[in-house]
């Protein structure tokens, strides 16, 4: 087949275009051709008027026709078009553009997620050289585990590593399924378990990763139990909540809990350094940006100060996602678009730029979760130990996390009697007045009231007399065998004549017990002392 000089045929519609316009037309033609074919196939599949025979005949005929036309087009493209200048580049350009669009829409934290144990950063206590988990992973064995840790510590990244281990299994007998309790329900778990049961007949095991597993209530969590017991599936769950409270005890007994900790500052620096390299940037280790000279082929997109990396690592509270998000936001705001990149000089990112974008440092504090109970416990024990500096520190942590000031004051009312008691009776009055002040003026004005009360309670003399004596009395009542003893007759009230005739209140007087010689405890307990 011959073509006019200077014209190139389109590989989709066979029309001829000039070399300068063929790339633009081919991209548009490919887009419209795909959208039209998908719409027509959707209409055909939803047509209610076609009977089975006619539908089958039409389908077979259209399939033959399409296959023959496809073969012709395929031969036409291979023989006459694919070697034409600009056409093959157009097809490759379309594929590359699609990949670039997908890559640019994925957040930096997701792009930096590791695939191998070598690239996994932190959690040496759980994945160290001698750890049980590492030894199992090296043998391509995945146990039933619950991964528990704060946000951004590497729970999902560890699951990503497990997914890669399943793919690289030499025998090919491991299948990985990723689910999220925030997006699926029991029906999806049942479907995955049924498929896993079929695969198991051919010797293929299934690993199900359930992200945010604490979002399933304890009744829904029972769906995993029979499949784990039968060995149909291997469960890998991830949660930010304490498994002791949020997960079914029966499920916990079948899984090993792996506790991940906050990432250290050095771990976060390592992650941020890799992220800078992936974004085509370099870190300035105290050098002047003018002293960094590279040729145009190796020109970085940006140069960032080392102290900026330190700031991001130190202010994200061990959360790698926060650190990477802050870096990505700063790079996007300070660097030009790829089409506008200058060949002369790279953009410079300083500590002031990051502080402008991140006005507030990240503080991990969940008012309804683990942090809520842990920090209030530390606050209470610091006051009990008369450590006023620690008490103010934990108080500041709670206020920074947005804790309810009335809740803090209410706990200090309890401390005033539990840990101080009669050693300083004014402590209770001060605590109650502080609680009233918090209700009246609220935050942020009541912060000084809270600090004053916390400091007073920490400095006050301590006595556990009230707490210990009350607990001793409660134990005596709880551990008493048989029916509780009756109230002595002389201590009973006698509002009627019948009760007076029965001896209620007989012999009672209001003198001190050492003078009246009356007993005020039931028979048999006269000599008990709780102090």
- Give me the CATH number covering residue 349: 1.10.8.60
Domain boundary among 209, 238, 259: 259
Q: Higher-confidence residue: 156 or 348?
A: 156
Q: Which of 216, 212, 157, 214 is nearest to 190 (CA)?
A: 216
Give yes or no for residue 211 having a pLDDT over 90: yes
Residue showing tokens 């024990």: 381
Domain boundary among 327, 357, 387: 357
Does any domain span residue 118? no
Does any domain span residue 526? yes
Give yes or no for residue 280 having a pLDDT over 90: no
Does any domain span residue 365? no
Q: Higher-confidence residue: 73 or 137?
A: 137
- 98 and 198 in one domain? no
How far, CA to CA in Å, does 343 sit from each of 100, 284, 299, 334, 390?
21, 19, 7, 16, 54
Query: How would DSSP label each residue in 5-33?
Result: TTEEE-TTT--EEETTTHHHHHHHHHHHH
Does any domain span residue 114? no
Residue 263 DSSP one-character state: P
- pLDDT at position 45 is 40
Give yes or no for residue 5 having a pLDDT over 60: no
- 94 and 203 in one domain? no
- pLDDT at position 292 is 53
Give yes or no for residue 276 having a pLDDT over 80: yes
CATH number, domain containing residue 168: 3.40.50.300
Cβ neighbours, 10 Å, residue 511: 10
Helix axes 405-415, 447-459, angle to 10 degrees: 20
Express as a percent the part of the chain with pLDDT over 90: 34
Q: Higher-confidence residue: 71 or 411?
A: 411
What's the token pair of residue 169?
Answer: 């299994």
Q: Kindly calculate the radius of gyration of the chain based on its CA atoms and give it in whole angstroms.
A: 36
Q: Which of 169, 251, 155 is nearest to 206 (CA)?
A: 169
- Respond yes or no on whether the N-terminal peptide bond of residue 444 is cis (omega within 30° of 0): yes
- 384 and 457 in one domain? yes
Mean pLDDT over residues 276-293, rounded?
72
Judge whether 26 and 12 are in contact, CB under 8 Å.
Answer: yes
What's the token pair of residue 221?
Answer: 């969590």
Please enumerate in sequence order all residues whose Cβ is within 8 A of that of 382, keeping only pairs 6 or more positions apart, or say none: 388, 390, 391, 393, 394, 458
Give yes or no for residue 114 having a pLDDT over 70: yes
Range of the domain at 72: 7-105
Helix axes 388-400, 405-415, angle to 10 degrees: 150
Query: How would DSSP label each residue in 183-221?
Result: T--HHHHHHHHHHHHHHHTTT-EEEEEEETGGGS-TTGG
Q: Higher-confidence residue: 141 or 349?
A: 141
- Name the phi and psi angles at 205, rounded to 5: -90, 155
Judge whether 39 and 26 are in contact, CB under 8 Å.
Answer: no
Does any domain span residue 524? yes
Does any domain span residue 473? no
Please give the sequence-ordered ranges of beta strands (E in DSSP) within 310-359, or none if there are none: 347-349
Least confident of 160-164, 175-179, 354-358, 504-508: 354-358
CATH number, domain containing residue 446: 1.20.272.10
Count of structural domains within the chain: 5
- 241 and 143 in one domain? yes
Mean pLDDT over residues 260-289, rounded?
85
- 135 and 246 in one domain? yes
- 35 and 140 in one domain? no
Domain boundary among 105, 136, 160: 105
What's the token pair of residue 265?
Answer: 């500052």
- pLDDT at position 89 is 52
| Tens-place pLDDT, residues 318-338 | 889 988 988 888 888 877 765
Q: What is the pTM of this model?
A: 0.60
Does any domain span residue 173? yes
- pLDDT at position 502 is 84
Give yes or no for residue 58 having a pLDDT over 50: no
Long-range contacts of 172-177 (CB under 8 A, 24+ apart): 172/204, 173/203, 173/204, 173/205, 174/140, 174/142, 174/204, 174/205, 174/207, 175/199, 175/204, 175/205, 175/206, 175/207, 176/206, 176/207, 176/209, 177/206, 177/207, 177/208, 177/209
- pLDDT at position 332 is 84
- 211 and 173 in one domain? yes
| Cα–Cα dist 459/500, whole Å | 53
- 250 and 128 in one domain? yes
Rounded to 5°, the CA angle 210-248-163 comes to 20
- 233 and 130 in one domain? yes
| Tens-place pLDDT, residues 494-527 | 888 888 888 888 888 888 877 887 887 888 787 8
For residue 237, the SS3 value is: strand
For residue 348, the SS3 value is: strand
- 245 and 173 in one domain? yes
pLDDT band at 298, cuts 50/70/90? low
Question: Which of 26-35, 60-69, 191-200 is modeled with the greatest confidence?
Answer: 191-200
- pLDDT at position 104 is 62
Residue 330: exposed, middle, or buried by beta-carbon count in 10 A (0-12, 13-18, 19+)?
buried
Least confident of 60-64, 189-193, 277-281, 282-286: 60-64
Rounded to 5°, the CA angle 220-223-229 comes to 140
Give yes or no for residue 66 having a pLDDT over 70: no
How many residues can be counted in the chain?
531
- 243 and 211 in one domain? yes
Over the range 406-441, which residues count as b (16 or more CB within 10 Å of their CB) and which as e?
bebbebbbebbbbbbbeebeebbebbbebbebbeee
Max CA separation in the chain (angstroms): 131
Does any domain span residue 493? yes
| Tens-place pLDDT, residues 385-431 | 999 999 999 999 888 888 889 999 999 999 999 999 999 999 999 99
Please give the sequence-ordered ranges of beta strands (E in DSSP) within 247-324, or none if there are none: 256-259, 281-284, 302-305
Judge whether 396 and 408 are in contact, CB under 8 Å.
Answer: no
- 235 and 280 in one domain? no
Averaged pLDDT of the chain: 79
Over the range 376-386, which residues count as b (16 or more CB within 10 Å of their CB) and which as e?
bebbbebbbee
């Amino acid at each position: 087949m011959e073509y006019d000089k200077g014209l190139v045929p389109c590989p989709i519609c066979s029309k001829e275009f000039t070399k300068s316009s063929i790339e633009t037309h081919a991209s548009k033609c490919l887009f419209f051709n795909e959208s039209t074919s998908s719409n027509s196939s959707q209409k055909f599949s939803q047509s209610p008027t076609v009977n089975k025979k006619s539908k089958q005949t039409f389908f077979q005929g259209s399939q033959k026709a399409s296959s023959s036309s496809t073969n012709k087009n395929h031969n036409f493209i291979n023989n006459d078009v694919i070697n034409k200048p600009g056409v093959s580049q157009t097809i490759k350009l379309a594929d590359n553009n699609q990949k670039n669009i997908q890559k640019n829409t994925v957040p930096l934290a997701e792009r930096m997620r590791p695939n191998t144990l070598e690239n996994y950063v932190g959690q040496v206590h759980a994945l160290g050289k001698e750890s049980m988990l590492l030894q199992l992973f090296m043998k391509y064995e995945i146990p039933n585990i619950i991964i528990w840790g704060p946000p951004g510590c590497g729970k999902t990244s560890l699951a990503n590593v497990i997914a890669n281990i399943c793919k690289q299994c030499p025998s090919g007998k491991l299948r990985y399924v990723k689910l999220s309790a925030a997006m699926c329900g029991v029906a999806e778990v049942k479907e995955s378990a049924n498929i896993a049961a079929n695969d198991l007949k051919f010797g293929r095991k299934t690993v199900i990763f359930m992200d945010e597993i604490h979002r399933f209530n304890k009744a829904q969590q029972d769906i995993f139990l029979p499949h784990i017991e039968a060995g149909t599936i291997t469960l890998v769950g991830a949660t930010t909540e304490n498994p002791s409270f949020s997960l079914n005890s029966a499920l916990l007994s079948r899984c090993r809990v792996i506790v991940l900790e906050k990432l250290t500052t050095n771990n976060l620096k390592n992650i941020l350094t890799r992220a800078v390299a992936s974004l085509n940037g370099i870190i300035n280790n105290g050098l002047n940006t003018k002293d960094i000279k590279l040729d145009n082929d190796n020109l970085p997109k940006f140069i960032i100060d080392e102290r900026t990396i330190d700031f991001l690592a130190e202010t994200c509270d061990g959360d790698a996602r926060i650190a990477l998000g802050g870096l990505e936001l700063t790079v996007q705001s300070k660097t030009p678009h790829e089409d506008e990149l200058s060949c002369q000089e790279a953009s410079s990112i300083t500590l002031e730029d990051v502080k402008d974008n991140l006005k507030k440092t990240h503080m991990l504090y969940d008012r309804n979760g683990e942090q809520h109970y842990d920090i209030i416990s530390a606050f209470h024990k610091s006051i009990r130990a008369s450590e006023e500096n620690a008490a103010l520190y934990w108080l500041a942590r709670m206020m920074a996390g947005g804790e309810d000031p009335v809740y803090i004051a209410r706990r200090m009312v309890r401390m005033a009697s539990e840990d101080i008691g009669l050693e300083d009776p004014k402590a209770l009055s001060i605590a109650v007045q502080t609680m009233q002040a918090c209700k009246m003026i609220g935050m942020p004005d009541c912060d000084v009231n809270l600090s004053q009360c916390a400091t007073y309670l920490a400095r006050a003399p301590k006595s556990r007399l009230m707490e210990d004596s009350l607990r001793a009395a409660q134990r005596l009542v709880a551990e008493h065998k048989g029916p509780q003893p009756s109230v002595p007759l002389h201590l009973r009230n006698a509002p009627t004549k019948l009760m007076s005739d029965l001896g209620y209140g007989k012999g009672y007087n209001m003198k001190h017990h050492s003078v009246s010689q009356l007993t005020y405890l039931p028979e048999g307990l006269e000599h008990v002392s709780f102090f």
